[in-house]
Structure 1
Amino acid sequence: MHSAAITELQTLLGDRLVTTQADRDLHGQNETWYPLTPPDAVAYPETTQEVSDILKICHAHDCPVVAYGAASSLEGQHLATRGGISLDMNRMNRVLEVNAEDLNCVVQPGITRIALNEELRATGLFFPVDPGANASIGGMTATRASGTTAVRYGTMRENILALEAVTADGTIVRTGTQARKSSTGYDLTHLLVGSEGTLGIITELTVKLQGIPEAISAATCRFPTIEDAVNCVILTIQSAIPMARIELVDEMMVRGFNNYADAGLPEVPHLFLEFHGSENSVAEQAEMFGAIAEDFGVEAYRTATKTEDRNALWAMRHKSHYASASLGKTGHLMPTDVCVPISKLAEAVVQAQNDAKRLGLTSTIVGHVGDGNFHSGIALDPTDPEQMKAAEEFTDALAKTAMRLGGTVSGEHGIGLGKMKYMNAEHGAGVALMRSIKAALDPKNILNPGKMLPPAE
């Protein structure tokens, strides 16, 4: 227990510094297989200045601080593995400014992507990054999230213009501007994007917005084999069709949808698609995709323009985490993801399926395959040593496959606890440079310690 820091924080925050077991346990849970990891206390700041004051106290007492948003991360990024303070940002959840003419808005980190888009609805604009979960914008930025729309609109990296953040010693810094580009100094904004709370606590964000498309059409189709589906995706992207979403689900993922949501789909590989644009361009895109898909044995190619039909399709897709878990007996899932060059996608997906079969694992594949990113979800019992050993062998093989093919061990989930062991293999000498940056900004190592960077050898 970091009692001295907690005592000072109670004076600062009053009843917004909570030490009850229930609240601590809530903040020690996660969506996957990591064990319960409660912090020593939970702080609920409401302003940037309060975040600064909290960090000054924690810095003085060498007390760890871990930012907490919607807790939807899948590599344990929000778990306080060394105790200390869980900094719950959910009370900092306002839209501060909408600059419709400049296609951006300024928000606090605790607002979720769904809440943000609800507030923007009357403006005719929307925030396009959609990781599936109703994640907080701050958490999405800290983990450099992407999602189903990244093939068209990019990841969080491409959609953040400026940040306000608090460093480990309580210093408040602002990075970036509302301008769309800059040639001044180090790119501190994008240094913080994807840093998983290890370099600073994000307290304000300026994000890009897009105009709501005039027309939107969704579609589903199925293929005889996974290779056919993936090769259809590859040719679609290489043909420069401006897909808004192009999602692959393999036969095991379809089984999960049938099991979890009674979807009634044939258990073969499917693609879920979405087209954005004018009425004419959406129709043209759908026709062009259909022509390509014919060459790969497509079946049951159906489009949907009604909002309720599209929403039902993507609601099912966004429940893939829980649908995958439903295929096991315990409801636990070991999720992982990789991202490879688009030309290597078929090889990586087939290798993942073969590895799962070889190891006797129940594993689904679902992916934002338009940019080479796909996810595997292994339904397992975390108390079963044999299952855990097989699952770890699978995730290790998948990571090595991705790197062998010129890809990365994570295109979306991030590093957190689960993928630190691959950082040296992927980044080499770059890891030492990352450690130097971490040491310069957080010399006492209080910001999300034990995450992202493996211990120096």
Structure 2
Amino acid sequence: MDPERERIQEDLRGLVRGEVRCDDVFVQLYSTDASIYQVRPLGVVRPRTAHDVAACLRYAAERQIPIHARGAGTGLAGESLGPGLVLDFSCHFRRILARHDERVRVQPGVVHERLNAFLERSGRTFGPDPAMSHVTTLGSVAAIDGAGSRWLKYGSARRHVLAMQIVLADGTVMEVGREPLVGGQSVDADPRKRDLINRLADVLGRNAQMIERHQPRSRVNRSGYHLAGVLSEDALDLPRLLVGSEGTLALFTELELATQPLPRHRGLALLFFERLESAARAVEEILTFAPTACDLMDRRHLTLARETDDRFAQLIPPSAEAMLLVEQDGEDGAGVREQMRALVDRIRRRRRLAFDARQTSSPDEMELYWQLPRRVVPTLYRLKGSTRAVPFVEDIAAPPETLPKFLPEMQNILKQHQVTAALFGHAGHGQLHIRPFLDLSDPQHVAVLQQLANDLYEAVFRFGGTISGEHADGLSRTPFIRRQYGPLYHVFREVKRIFDPLNLLNPGKIVGDDPELHLRHLRPSELAATAISPPWASTEGARLPASAGPATG
């Protein structure tokens, strides 16, 4: 351990109750996540309380040390990596604090899957469903505005975060929600909070037309700061702004979330297509049935599924070039089954877009069908060889109605660069996860990555889409944000300065000046791009509130 790390470790151990580790093993452990990047931090703090978090931020502000918040390390854009102090919330911030009829209060280290297991006892759920639910923490879901397959029904996390306890860059702990305005001004009793709200209201008010004018037409967008709909005549919605800010504006220590009733019945259909374009054309028809999910898998994923599980080999026709997984839910089982039957009939028989289909309402079969996107897609990263499916341009989104034209253009761009890619997506809301197969130890492949990103993103902009729909900007996409938003990018800078004038909270992410940030810090090729899932990120043993027992049975 070098002298600087040794001094920081000694100082912080005298200030916080949580663990502080600056030794080489810990620094190396926290230098990677599920992205293609590697950045060694100065040290790691596992805070136990909001006081610990505040003490770390005050210490960092005095010494100009960057702070990077982290959950389970499942990020694909390198959003939690950095050269400063990493604050790991997945270890101790794992309590479900309180549950009310339609809301729940949690700490940010609570694992998403465990929260829903807890809510299920009372017939409720937290709707947004990220793919890595079994390890992803709710702080991470809020930090990147996570969504998932069921966005069509539940939307993203932003819709469900009602209030939060935050710690500002100077160590101030603050409770925020939808803050009332009187005559356009805050009358909050706390002068620090009042000043924050008034400065934000001024910036958002002055730039209201620009904010409205520079929004993409895609259904989803989590690139940049979410400024639309934050300011109204009588309120400023701080959670709406802070969700998706990737730890660059404030750190979350408590979250109050809206919950939804669990559906009584669900049904699933698998639709198989001979051409990717046919699947894209089917999406518009499917959306008229108001599905809860509509996911797309290409031939590479389907072939991998057939090769890894005999059940999928029997389920998936060998000639399928694409598949759509469609889910419906409702209060009446017969109604759900009839809706699914009508949907399959229209796509397969009447429109002749799909050549084969499977339909089920059996819980066991539905679980098997859902394993296709949730278990097969991650196996791409475990394929052997130096050429890997790279998460880099994997988060684009376009308006769903443009997919029949956008997907062929995407394929042409890949062909122009002689790149093979795998495609999985939430086609119902236009979200496309494209993973090109590249060897990042080869400088020529790195150059191709840059050119591919430029061309793909230009196509995305032409179709009214976004470079990031749910996976964060991080190191991967921050250099491209200015191109997406134009003059609105300067408003992002103003917002960043209001919250973090010293630029210490996850600096360089979302707002940054390095045009080649996405090409720096590429991890050595021999390290597989897999998420670090520490043992404390399991769903067992986390503490429930004392009131939870009687309330949930």
TM-score normalised to structure 2 length: 0.77
1:393 shift after superposition: 2.3
Aligned to 1:86: 86
Given candidates 254, 267, 279, the residue that maps to 1:204 is 254
Aligned to 2:502: 444
AA partner of residue 123 (structure 1):
S
Aligned to 1:304: 360
Count of aligned pairs between the two proteins: 449
Is residue 136 from structure 1 mapped to residue 190 from structure 2 by the alignment?
A: no
Aligned to 1:323: 379
AA partner of residue 299 (structure 1):
F
Aligned to 1:244: 292
The runs of at least 4 aligned residues of structure 1 exceeding 6 Å deviation read none
CA distance in 2, matches of 1:426, 1:51: 34
Is the CA contact 1:65–1:446 (under 8 Å) kept in the aligned structure 2? yes
Matched position secondary structure for 1:186:
strand
Given candidates 207, 214, 230, the residue that maps to 2:264 is 214
Q: Comparing both chains, which one has the higher relative contact order based on Cα–Cα distances under 8 Å and sequence gaps of 6 or more? A: 2
Aligned to 2:461: 403
Given candidates 28, 32, 57, the residue that maps to 1:29 is 32
1:344-423 to structure 2, matched below 5 A, reads: 344-423=402-481
CA distance in 1, matches of 2:84, 2:368: 41
Aligned to 2:511: 453
Is the CA contact 1:325–1:377 (under 8 Å) kept in the aligned structure 2? no
Is residue 96 from structure 1 mapped to residue 144 from structure 2 by the alignment?
A: no
Matched position secondary structure for 1:123:
coil
What are the Cα deviations for residues 264-286 of structure 1, in whole angstroms up to 9, with x where unaligned? 23242001121111213312320
1:48 shift after superposition: 1.5
Is residue 77 from structure 1 mapped to residue 130 from structure 2 by the alignment?
A: no
Aligned to 2:323: 270
AA partner of residue 325 (structure 2):
F
CA distance in 1, matches of 2:51, 2:505: 17
1:292 shift after superposition: 2.6
Is the CA contact 1:228–1:296 (under 8 Å) kept in the aligned structure 2? no
AA partner of residue 300 (structure 2):
M
Matched position secondary structure for 2:395:
strand
What are the Cα deviations for residues 403-444 of structure 1, in whole angstroms up to 9, with x where unaligned? 111111111112111112221111111111111111121111
1:19 shift after superposition: 1.7
1:370 shift after superposition: 0.8
Task: In structure 2, list runs of 5 or more residues that go unmatched.
Answer: 181-229, 516-553
Please say which structure displays the higher CA radius of gyration.
2
CA distance in 2, matches of 1:48, 1:333: 39
Instruction: Report the CA distance shift for 1:402/1:261 in structure 2 as closer, same or farther (over 3 A).
Output: farther
Is the CA contact 1:93–1:108 (under 8 Å) kept in the aligned structure 2? yes
1:253 shift after superposition: 2.4
CA distance in 1, matches of 2:376, 2:415: 20
1:14 shift after superposition: 5.8
How much is the aligned-residue C-alpha RMSD, in angstroms?
Answer: 2.2
CA distance in 2, matches of 1:392, 1:128: 35
Given candidates 345, 355, 369, the residue that maps to 1:313 is 369
Is residue 226 from structure 1 mapped to residue 276 from structure 2 by the alignment?
A: yes
Given candidates 240, 243, 254, the residue that maps to 1:193 is 243
Instruction: Report the CA distance shift for 1:380/1:328 in structure 2 as closer, same or farther (over 3 A).
Output: farther
Moved more, 339-348 or 284-293: 284-293
1:325 shift after superposition: 2.9
AA partner of residue 44 (structure 1):
R
CA distance in 2, matches of 1:321, 1:297: 24
Aligned to 2:172: 171
CA distance in 1, matches of 2:6, 2:64: 11
1:74 shift after superposition: 0.9
Is the CA contact 1:257–1:323 (under 8 Å) kept in the aligned structure 2? no
1:220 shift after superposition: 1.0
Moved more, 277-286 or 140-149: 277-286
CA distance in 1, matches of 2:491, 2:346: 45
Aligned to 1:58: 60
Aligned to 2:520: none
Is residue 8 from structure 1 mapped to residue 11 from structure 2 by the alignment?
A: yes
Is the CA contact 1:423–1:454 (under 8 Å) kept in the aligned structure 2? no
Task: In structure 1, list runs of 5 or more residues that go unmatched.
Answer: none
Is the CA contact 1:324–1:379 (under 8 Å) kept in the aligned structure 2? no
